[in-house]
Amino acid sequence: MTIEDFHPTHVVPQDGLPAWEAPDVSRPTEPLDPLLPVQLVDRRGDWGRIVCANGWSAWVDSRLLVSVPQEPPAAGQPLSRTADPRPLLARAEESLDQYRRAAEDLAAGRTDGEAFRRSTQGLRVGMVVDGESVWLYDAEHERWVYCDGTHLSTYAAPPGPAGAGPPEPTGVAGEEVPGTEGPGTDPPEPGGTAGAGATRVVDPDRAAGADRPGSDV
């Protein structure tokens, strides 16, 4: 057997494996190294004859060999990312558009306050865009995610489930929200949606600088 013909079917267990010159315990040979790839070419009961990549052959207890899959799962499929940002971006756009239409109807007198509250009930959208970097609120999983244009990664998540009450008032730029230390002191609290307290304002220089998502905050 040449190296080109060698196709491992098993690997040796992590503790190594005793080997014999023949299917006979009275004829031991060099033991096999841990995790050594081997090809099982013959069986006699529990005995198995293996061949190594260099052509060396021996008999082992075939029951102890670890089988190697012949083909990895989804082999040949194109590479893809598991966290495509586009669906979440589309949901954020839809939620914002729904709120905008409800606000326009209220401002134009086509609906009243009660209808406005009903049409916007349950809407949760959050987005911060800073050049190529985007922070999105994933309302379905109640977490903030970071997007670099190609994939999403979790930035922050609440320590527990959100409450059932309405969200607290949210601060605006330049305004200190009661119960916080003031603008620029802490990053936003993604859990501050339903009943989790007011949202703190983040200093734009800090959000865009060294404390980007992925670094130590």
- Give me the mean pLDDT over the 93-109 stretch: 92
pLDDT at residue number 26: 94
Higher model confidence: residue 77 or residue 28? 28
pTM of the model: 0.38
Question: What is the rounded distance in angstroms from the CA atom of residue 169 to the CA atom of residue 190?
Answer: 14
Q: What does residue 34 show for φ and ψ, rounded to 5 degrees?
A: -60, 140
Residue-averaged pLDDT of the chain:
73
Question: What is the rounded distance in angstroms from the CA atom of residue 153 to the CA atom of residue 185?
Answer: 23
DSSP per residue, 143-212: EEEEE-SS-EEEEE--SS---SSPPPPPP-TT-PPTTS--TTSS---TT-SSSS-PPPPPPHHHHHTTT-
Range among 79-88, 91-100, 127-136, 168-177 with highest mean pLDDT value: 91-100
Instruction: Report whether pLDDT(22) > 60.
Output: yes
Instruction: Report whether pLDDT(120) > 70.
Output: yes
pLDDT at residue number 169: 44
pLDDT at residue number 128: 85
pLDDT at residue number 171: 43
pLDDT band at 127 (very low <50, low <70, confident <90, very high): confident
Note the pLDDT tens digit of each residue in 145-167: 888 877 777 766 555 444 434 44
Instruction: Report whether pLDDT(78) > 80.
Output: no
